[in-house]
Amino acid sequence: MNALRLHGRHDLRLHREDAPTPTLGEALVRVTAVGICGSDLHWFSEAGIGDAQLAEHPLVLGHEAAGVIQSGPRQGERVAIDPTVACGECTFCREGNPHFCEHLSFAGYGSTDGFLREQIAWRERCLHPLPDTLSDPEGAMLEPLGVAIHAHDLSKMRLGMRVGVFGCGPIGLLLIQLARLSGATQIIATDRLPHRLEAARHCGATEVFQSFHGEENEAIWAATRHEGVHVAFESAGENEAVETAIASARRGGKVILVGIPSDDRTAFRASTARQKGLTIKLCRRMRNSYPRAIHLVATGQVEVRSLVTHRFSLDRYQQAFQVAEKREGLKVIIEP
């Protein structure tokens, strides 16, 4: 089979390898669609992310995926693949927080190979059945939707709130849709790229502003009648977006940090956050979100199909990563 491995910064190589052999509790899965995430781009351009760095073992990236089970009693079943394999036994797992698992394995991170290969052996309990109405690329989009759901849960959003989304990549666009579903009366969105602002309007943003070194802050404040937003989601991975989120939040508001900074540092003006008495939360991946994500897409309450703007075969990986790195579209999908 073919597997795409990262050997160093901007150094991806296609390998011919033996198909994996499932162990107890695993199933063999033919991978059909894999999304390129912002965190994959960190690995690609920096050979690491945060405090995790590429080791001697070349890493297979990719953690947003769908596939078809090839072995066992569920053979032939189309599935969305949860990239998080938790132990199920530690304190955090028993508390219902598998994303904090003490023995967590996550696809395409550290020493755990991800999904940019033709076949994987993966925990069967992490394979969620896909309805026939959902395509494989839509199945891959369920992972970023799961992250957006978890961030939304952290905000404890209520009907009638004003919401800001700062960074309109796929997760930001999904947060806009969730805010609309939750009865937000005003949804403000910012991004540097005009085509992403257009997508934000399509997803339900009531006002959009092009971000430029914080110059948009005054216009955002005026748009909320100088009251600010109740909940601000930062989903750009840039300190500039963090500053705008904090500047846009009302007194007593919440700021949810979803983006991953390239330099592993988040900075903001402490006096502004302190004087407003803001609650600041950081979103780590997702928390048991797949069943809800599947239901929301299958019932048409959240739309993910239009967020997939580019699709490539595995042997066109160089072009796929170039498009993703240049932020030319929204979601780039590779179909092994």
Question: Model confidence over 93-118: pLDDT tens digits?
Answer: 999 999 999 999 999 999 999 999 99
- Tell me, what's the pLDDT at 262? 85
- Tell me, what's the pLDDT at 263? 87
Is the same domain home to 67 and 195? no
Is the same domain home to 227 and 199? yes
DSSP 8-state assignment for residue 222: H
pLDDT at residue 168 tops 90:
yes
Q: Is residue 133 part of a domain?
A: yes
Q: How far apart are CA 27 and CA 172, in angstroms?
A: 33
**Residue range 21-32: mean pLDDT, rounded:** 97
- Tell me, what's the pLDDT at 77? 98
Q: Is residue 322 part of a domain?
A: yes
Q: How far apart are CA 28 and CA 67, in angstroms?
A: 10
Q: How far apart are CA 143 and CA 8, in angstroms?
A: 26
Is the same domain home to 125 and 155? no
Identify the domain containing residue 108 by its residue range. Answer: 2-141+304-335
pLDDT at residue 316 tops 90:
yes
pLDDT at residue 224 tops 90:
yes
Q: Is residue 67 part of a domain?
A: yes
Q: Is residue 296 part of a domain?
A: no
Helix (H) or strand (E) holding 322: helix 317-325
How would you classify the pairing of strands 331-335 and 308-313?
parallel
Q: Is residue 299 part of a domain?
A: no
- Residue 273's CATH number: 3.40.50.720
**Residue range 157-183: mean pLDDT, rounded:** 98
Q: Which residues pair with 53 in a beta bridge?
A: 48
| pTM for the model | 0.96
Q: Between the CA of residue 29 and those of 79, 270, 308, 316, 326, what are the distances in Å?
A: 9, 48, 22, 21, 31
Is the same domain home to 228 and 316? no
Q: Residues 198-237, buried b or exposed e (16+ Cβ, 10 A)?
A: ebbeebbbbbbbebeeeebbeebeebbeeebbbbbbbbbb
pLDDT at residue 327 tops 90:
yes
Q: Is residue 287 part of a domain?
A: no
Please give the span between the terminal C-alpha atoms of the chain, in angstroms, as a whole number. 10
Is the same domain home to 121 and 14? yes
Confidence band (pLDDT; 50, 70, 90) for 55? confident
pLDDT at residue 56 tops 90:
no
pLDDT tens by residue, 7-23: 999 999 999 999 999 99
Is the same domain home to 120 and 204? no
Is the same domain home to 68 and 106? yes
- Tell me, what's the pLDDT at 51? 86
Per the structure, how many domains does the chain have? 2
- For the chain, what is the mean pLDDT? 96
- Residue 25's CATH number: 3.90.180.10
Residue 307, Cβ neighbours under 10 Å: how many?
25
